[in-house]
Structure 1
Amino acid sequence: MLLQVGEFCELVENDLNSLVDELSVLTNRQSPYEISAWRNSLQQLSTSLNHPLLSPFHIQLGGSLSLEYNLPASSAWCDAILLGRNQHRPSAVIIELKDWDLSGDQPANRETLILHHGSPYSHPSDQVRGYVEYCRYFHSEVIEGKADVSGCVFFTSAKDATIYKGHPYQAITAEYPVFTRVPYGSQDGLPAFLSECLKEPDQEFAGRFEKGTYVQDRSLIRQISKLIQGDQKTFVLLDNQRTGYELCLDRIDNLLKKTKSSHQKEKLVVIVEGPPGSGKSVLAAKIWAALSHDERMQGNNVVMTSTSSAQKTNWQILFQQVAGHQAGRGVILPSNKYNPGLTTNWMKAERAKGHPVTAQSWRQNLKLFAKIGITKMPDNQIWASVVDEAHALFDPSLEHVAGVQNAGWQVIAGPQAYHIIRASQVSIFLLDSNQSYRDNETTTPDKITEWARELGVPETNIEQINLGGIQFRSGGSKEYVAWVEHVLELNDEPHHLHWRSTPDNVDGVFDLEVADDPEELVDLLRAKHQAGMSARFISSYSRKWKTKDIPDAHNLPPSEKDFFLAYVRKGQKKHWASIWNFLGDDESYHWFIQAPPGSKIHQDPFCEVGCPYVVRGFDFDYLGVLWLSDLVWRKDHWDANFQNVHETAWRLTLSRARHENPRGPATAELIRQLKRGYRILLTRALKGIYLWIEDPETRDHIRSML
């Protein structure tokens, strides 16, 4: 929402309720906490902008303020951005507004974390640093207009933020300072900082900034790609991976030559299929790096497209580590960001005009939306999009998925893969159709091919590559994966147990043990961790996530945690308790994956249980799998225990199955999805899987298969 500063101050003084209502609709954030925070923070911001220090620079006479600015092609929202000019060029100042009570807050061991009310949160200055770096490296107007971008934190309720500025935060707060409320007329604080960054208005720059799009700073992209290209340990390619890699680049070379000779832009779609552990993610990174490092890509965007929040987190962490700073995260473009701009408000307006806007009418919806003439993701905005785990892309147009959760995607926009092809000149999809897990994961190679043809991609520009026959996880054993699929009745191919490492089979390459109880499971994993290996607990959603919104869930009484498992050990009745993976204030899976210093899981890697999405695109040496009676073996077949299925992404399938009497196709579909879920869990470790199976009959069956 772009306003003149004077206009903003007047709204705060005379019509604050309407302003807050508009922001609530804009951001779709409507909690009482958000409303209260806006009311207080906006009043304090208005007071600061009316400060005498800013009067000589005419901030109120034409300076611009963007409220709740959604960074281009990102899910991040900046609370406030002041836009104008400094002494030399356009200038943007990002202000993170924090209406926090700071009482009792303590420093953490890292400059990026703070213990807020006992739980680790991102330090607000680090949050601002992420926004600033994103704008510097991925905002069209900042890059093309050579604008300066700076940032700060404004605590709008606190008068003392000493904890946030002391050790170990001196360096980060020197660059991204922290301010609190100061008496009106004081020569220090936020107004003084703003007066150094902004000297005069620039409404034209403000307008261009507000409409900015995602582009890439080539120097950063080349830096990351060079490091990935040179990392021969993490990103090595073998056999079919190398073939797939060379085929992808060969097809792109041909496309570039054809484009150069004919001056006509053609699209290219490459579909790479492979089973779990076949190296699709490494191949995706190498393809991205090769394209980004190619001098012919000058001025073109090459992105990694993520298909889930967990996968996005994993890729962002990787690229941040490679880049050496947060801007590396901006290379990752969530699939939801390919929506050209269709919103709920637009849908309501069109329906009021008599247009039947539904998920099934998505093609007509796009034609209606095109009449507006404004789009957030234009055709061919991205030169190349590399989509890992493309099987998780959402196709809401299918009749049988009507009503499923949209996971942040506007279902009226149609299939995500369609928009990726539309918005990209080159689209590379890496997928395993058998890993489609949620009700809304409905994208297949055939559908991708269909949409490519619909968008005018020549048949000769649609390539399919298969990575079958190679295995990097599970001790490199294709036979182990085949055994898992056999046990789950996903195939009936011959299998053997030569892969299993036991005292009698020292040549085995993969550990698999079924523990007697959770306590033994912990002992097995802890021994591996103490030997220097990475290890975690994971489980299917066979328990409710009761603690998701509880900030200090680790300290709950055992019976109130997500997992409170009864078992008998040496004749004694016992309980084992734990919580689901902690998400933190940023609702990120990196807490569980990275276990940063200061976090509970850094102290004890077995104090949380990872959900199924945590292991997507990220590997641990050993995994302890809690198999908790959602998928059970009964006599001679697999069955679903409805009361232990709590996967919210299966609500539609579960509801249909519960209403079947006798059990029929919906129950069969639920069992199929449960099997796919366990296939994912059981094929994600590098060296070994340790199991505790709650249901005795199921436990006996698995042991009999060994």
Structure 2
Amino acid sequence: MELAQELEEIDRGGVHMLVECSPDGAPAPIDVVLVGRHPGTGRDSFALIELKRWASVAVGVRNESKLLVPGMKREKAHPSDQLTRNADYFFGENGPLKGLQIEYAGFSYLHNAHVGDVQALFAPGRSTSPYSMYFTRDDRVELHRELLRQFDSSSGATSAELLLQRMGVRNAPLLNAMVSSKGEDTVFTLRGEQKRAAAAVRMAVERLSDAPGEDLLTASVWKEDAVFVIRGGAGSGKSAIGLELMRQLALQGHRVRYASGSRAFDATMKRHVGYRDRAFQDMFVFFSSFIKPPKPRLDLLICDEAHRLRERSTNHRVPEEQWGTGPQVDELLDAARVTVFLLDGRQSVRPNEVGTVELIEDAAARRELSPTTFALQEQFRCGGSDAYRQWVHDLLGFSGRDVDRWAPDGLMHVEVADSPEELERVIRREHDAGASARIVAGFCWPWNKPKGHVRRLVKDVRIGGWHRLWNAWGDNYCEHGAPPAKLWGVDPAGIDQIGCVYSSQGLEWDWCGVILGDDMVWRDGKWVFQKGVKRREKAVKIWRVRKPGSFDPEVAGSAVAPEVFEDCVRNAYHVLLTRASRAAVLYSTDPDTQAYLKDRVGEVEIAGLRPTWENLPEVARRPRSQRGGKPQQDVLF
């Protein structure tokens, strides 16, 4: 953009730009925030910029305090008025920079206008506040002087990272935040609709927890219940709401449980966060844990990843006659006075996952209840990058739009590796430097069970001469301390295996390598979906690939309809592509798809913008949690 070019021209390329900056509580989005170091004081320096494409303006006809802009039907607010309101908040007592010793400024830049065409900006009676400066295309020399007064030539990376964290955009990854506090402190900065949803649930729990009829499941009791549906995409903060509600209400003495359909998420919370804390571990359960309703009923049941609800509850650890006989959603509603469903339809990756808003609404209606629904729009994963989230939606075909070439936004980094070897080198280098990092892949190779009493793993993932291990089958550690799939994403030894959608759902890492396999390939301008065929190597009792494609037994079976299969594969890649918080490294095993990815990502500027551990400022480095690993004496060899 023009402003970036102006900064480059005066050797201020190290100044960071935050575009469409929207702190929670701000009167309106701020077009650009420039962040760097002040040349006089050495303090962090911030400048709020109103960017206007207007070529000319006139004084408003209906309202002289506003402006008439050719081509626009409504009269527009004066830029200095917008800027003053935003600056008063941004730099004030309730803003993200409260309490910091900083330098700050603000101005409007009309890069398409000549000064003679915008004289209405300077009409008598206009504001003379500190934010009433204007620069046009005729004022570039003065613009350069103002920028040089506000910023020196050093990098603004540290200041920008600090601002993102204080705005709640750069929240600590969910797992790191929970480990650091073990769920006992406020560790998530809830914003906007998150706050409203959490407040509504808290009020309902406090209102209903002392209601009569606690032990009887009758229609009269149901009328006292409350149901909430909180929808949002990957990284929109659904789990943050759920975990914060669990923490707050459990500390107040309420009976709370946190249910999910993910073995990886459940194991992570119990083994990694609630290490040796039985009371904390007991709060985490599965959807299938309520075949028999608890007595007394829970005050609050939080159902995370509710898109993974099943038609009925099963439990292979007990006889089939003890399995659920009715809809699983009814069991969850029976279990608590207040039930919260957190769901994202784009993360449903199995045909038998039936959790939808309509399913929950129908079940609630049978109890004469109407769910309260919240829709989360903001993005907290993937560096808080809305641009990356939209790019992934376009890439996978969810939006129906053509996918534009990726435009780096300073929040999320994307690159395409030339080979699996290169992808692994990048991910391992970041892991070894201190970042959290993993490699994930589509389910495009058979998953062989561990062999023998030592539980030896087979190198199932095979791309040319590059052969690697899948995350380990089963619940037990394997040879050389390889963790089971449910702990693969958090155990340090997991870096040596390739994860799949089932072991990565609900988790995130700084860097994530994503291998797209032959289950989804680009052909003639559209995605084509393929089921694989496997062959048996009888001598060693190992399954291998005969025909490339999907080998996910949950979705690739002949009984699964083609459209359902396509939805599941597409959703699986949506999950995998949104596991990174700073950088995603892509590679496809299919040459045509690899070429398409290369074209849509474009040339990558390796130096400077690449968020390697080495390039990150100190404030942005969050050492990965080291808890994990099975005690040596428990590993079988």
2:526 alignment counterpart: 637
Is residue 592 of structure 1 aligned with residue 488 of structure 2?
Answer: yes
Change (3 A) 1:302 1:225: farther
Deviation at 1:253, TM superposition (A): 3.4
Q: Is the 8 A contact 1:228 1:235 kept in 2?
A: no
2:353 alignment counterpart: 441
Q: Is the 8 A contact 2:391 2:406 kept in 1?
A: no
Q: Cα deviation per residue 1:311-361 (whole Å; 9 max; x = unaligned)?
A: 21122235414xx53442211111112113xxxxxxxxxxxxxxxxxxxxx
Q: Distance in 2 between matches of 1:483 and 1:490?
A: 10
Is residue 333 of structure 1 aligned with residue 285 of structure 2?
Answer: yes
Deviation at 1:255, TM superposition (A): 3.3
Change (3 A) 1:228 1:552: closer
1:545 alignment counterpart: 447
Q: Distance in 2 between matches of 1:496 and 1:303?
A: 43
Deviation at 1:483, TM superposition (A): 0.7
2:342 to 426, 430, 438: 430
**TM-score, length of structure 1 as denominator length:** 0.52
Read off the aligned partner of 2:460 and give its amino acid letter. Answer: D
Q: Is the 8 A contact 1:632 1:695 kept in 2?
A: yes
Q: Normalized per residue, which structure has more helix?
A: 1
Map 1:654-665 → 2, pairs under 5 A: 654-656=557-559
Change (3 A) 1:637 1:394: same
Deviation at 1:589, TM superposition (A): 3.5
Q: Distance in 1 between matches of 2:453 and 2:392?
A: 37
Q: Distance in 2 between matches of 1:524 and 1:315?
A: 28
Q: Is the 8 A contact 2:288 2:315 kept in 1?
A: no
Read off the aligned partner of 2:199 and give its amino acid letter. Answer: E
> Matched residue of 2:388: which SS?
helix
Read off the aligned partner of 1:578 and give its amino acid letter. Answer: R
Deviation at 1:531, TM superposition (A): 2.6
Change (3 A) 1:251 1:499: farther
2:249 to 291, 298, 305: 291
Q: Distance in 2 between matches of 1:606 and 1:319?
A: 19
Read off the aligned partner of 2:416 and give its amino acid letter. Answer: V
Q: Distance in 2 between matches of 1:259 and 1:381?
A: 11
Q: Is the 8 A contact 2:404 2:600 kept in 1?
A: no
> Matched residue of 2:244: which SS?
helix
> Matched residue of 2:443: which SS?
coil
Q: Is the 8 A contact 1:225 1:289 kept in 2?
A: no
1:306 to 260, 276, 281: 260
Q: Distance in 2 between matches of 1:380 and 1:448?
A: 23
Q: Distance in 2 between matches of 1:424 and 1:257?
A: 13
Deviation at 1:437, TM superposition (A): 0.8
> Matched residue of 1:417: which SS?
helix
Is residue 458 of structure 1 aligned with residue 369 of structure 2?
Answer: yes
1:473 alignment counterpart: 381
Q: Is the 8 A contact 1:475 1:510 kept in 2?
A: yes
1:420 to 321, 324, 332: 332
Deviation at 1:685, TM superposition (A): 0.9
2:305 alignment counterpart: 389
Map 1:237-636 → 2, pairs under 5 A: 237-256=190-209, 265=221, 266-295=224-253, 297=254, 301-321=255-275, 325-340=277-292, 377-378=293-294, 381-395=297-311, 413-454=325-366, 456-459=367-370, 462-468=371-377, 470-493=378-401, 500=408, 508-549=410-451, 552=454, 561-566=459-464, 575-583=465-473, 585-586=475-476, 588-595=484-491, 601=493, 605-636=494-525
Is residue 687 of structure 1 aligned with residue 582 of structure 2?
Answer: yes
Q: Distance in 2 between matches of 1:624 and 1:491?
A: 24
Deviation at 1:394, TM superposition (A): 0.4
Q: Distance in 2 between matches of 1:550 and 1:630?
A: 31
Q: Is the 8 A contact 1:582 1:591 kept in 2?
A: no
Change (3 A) 1:412 1:655: farther
Change (3 A) 1:339 1:655: same
> Matched residue of 1:655: which SS?
coil
Deviation at 1:452, TM superposition (A): 1.4
Change (3 A) 1:498 1:641: closer
Q: Is the 8 A contact 2:205 2:300 kept in 1?
A: no
Change (3 A) 1:668 1:306: closer
Q: Is the 8 A contact 1:314 1:617 kept in 2?
A: no
Change (3 A) 1:229 1:521: closer
> Matched residue of 1:464: which SS?
strand
Q: Distance in 1 between matches of 2:226 and 2:296?
A: 11
Q: Is the 8 A contact 2:257 2:301 kept in 1?
A: yes
Q: Distance in 2 between matches of 1:534 and 1:227?
A: 19
Change (3 A) 1:435 1:407: farther
Read off the aligned partner of 1:387 and give its amino acid letter. Answer: C
Q: Is the 8 A contact 1:244 1:466 kept in 2?
A: no
Q: Is the 8 A contact 2:449 2:473 kept in 1?
A: no
Deviation at 1:497, TM superposition (A): 5.5
Map 1:77-156 → 2, pairs under 5 A: none
- Aligned CA RMSD, in angstroms, stands at 3.2
Q: Cα deviation per residue 1:107-165 (whole Å; 9 max; x = unaligned)?
A: xxxxxxxxxxxxxxxxxxxxxxxxxxxxxxxxxxxxxxxxxxxxxxxxxxxxxxxxxxx
> Matched residue of 1:705: which SS?
helix
Change (3 A) 1:451 1:592: same
Q: Is the 8 A contact 1:499 1:509 kept in 2?
A: no
Q: Is the 8 A contact 2:225 2:337 kept in 1?
A: yes
Q: Cα deviation per residue 1:472-491 (whole Å; 9 max; x = unaligned)?
A: 11111111111111111111
Q: Is the 8 A contact 2:300 2:336 kept in 1?
A: yes
1:570 alignment counterpart: none
Q: Distance in 1 between matches of 2:572 and 2:432?
A: 29
Q: Cα deviation per residue 1:604-623 (whole Å; 9 max; x = unaligned)?
A: x5421112112122211111
Deviation at 1:395, TM superposition (A): 1.7
> Matched residue of 2:259: which SS?
strand
Q: Distance in 2 between matches of 1:226 and 1:289?
A: 14
**TM-score, length of structure 2 as denominator length:** 0.57
Q: Distance in 2 between matches of 1:585 and 1:318?
A: 15
Change (3 A) 1:227 1:412: closer
Q: Cα deviation per residue 1:200-227 (whole Å; 9 max; x = unaligned)?
A: xxxxxxxxxxxxxxxxxxxxxxxx9995
> Matched residue of 1:248: which SS?
helix
Q: Distance in 1 between matches of 2:179 and 2:315?
A: 36
Q: Distance in 1 between matches of 2:440 and 2:565?
A: 20
Q: Is the 8 A contact 1:396 1:440 kept in 2?
A: no
Read off the aligned partner of 1:394 and give its amino acid letter. Answer: R
Deviation at 1:236, TM superposition (A): 2.5
Read off the aligned partner of 1:562 and give its amino acid letter. Answer: D
Q: Is the 8 A contact 1:272 1:429 kept in 2?
A: yes
Q: Is the 8 A contact 1:314 1:618 kept in 2?
A: no
Q: Distance in 1 between matches of 2:351 and 2:296?
A: 29
Q: Distance in 1 between matches of 2:474 and 2:348?
A: 27
Deviation at 1:541, TM superposition (A): 1.1
Q: Cα deviation per residue 1:55-75 (whole Å; 9 max; x = unaligned)?
A: xxxxxxxxxxxxxxxxxxxxx
Q: Distance in 1 between matches of 2:357 and 2:462?
A: 42
2:36 alignment counterpart: none
Unaligned runs of 5+ in 2: 1-177, 478-483, 533-548, 602-637
> Matched residue of 1:236: which SS?
coil
